[in-house]
Structure 1
Amino acid sequence: MKQEQTIAGPTKGKTGSQTIEHIKDGLQLTAQLILASPLKLPVKLVQGAKYVVLGLSIFDGLFKKKIDDPLKPQGDETNGT
């Protein structure tokens, strides 16, 4: 008899993009809390949070879905003349 094995991954029920978005949102929230904290935190921690925010901003800029590109022509719009 053959036995079938099923392997359940840690992201059961989520797609790859949903997992990445969840991780990105968590990192962004954590970095914002560190930067906005009224407590005196170690300098290395604050600098690390700044780099995380910078990296997430670059990631969003490169990979976000383009809804309206202002430089792209708007299809076949003619004046009808």
Structure 2
Amino acid sequence: MTDGYAVDAPKILIGLCLGAVTAVFATLVAFLSGRWLPGTGIAVVAVVLVAAAASYAYATLIGKALLWRREIVLLALRGDETTVDLG
């Protein structure tokens, strides 16, 4: 349902995903080594990064198309309008 839209700033999404994977790995290492307090803190960071990546991916791939569709409907275009393409 991307309607031809691509990911805005894909390096941001890649960074969020890599950070999340790293935090999950660090959480596992901490828990397996018996360090529960640092492991819990890192797990919170991992959850936040996963949520941020999911939210960013949704907004850039699906939310953008939904917003544009809603805005175009709100314009109530009749078909006889004149437009100027500014680039």
Query: Where is the helix percentage greater, Structure 1 or Structure 2?
Result: 2
Could you state the TM-score of these two structures normalised by the residue count of structure 1?
0.44
Higher RCO (CA-CA < 8 Å; seq separation 6+): 2
TM-score scaled by length of structure 2: 0.42
Which of structures 1 and 2 has the bigger CA Rg?
A: 1
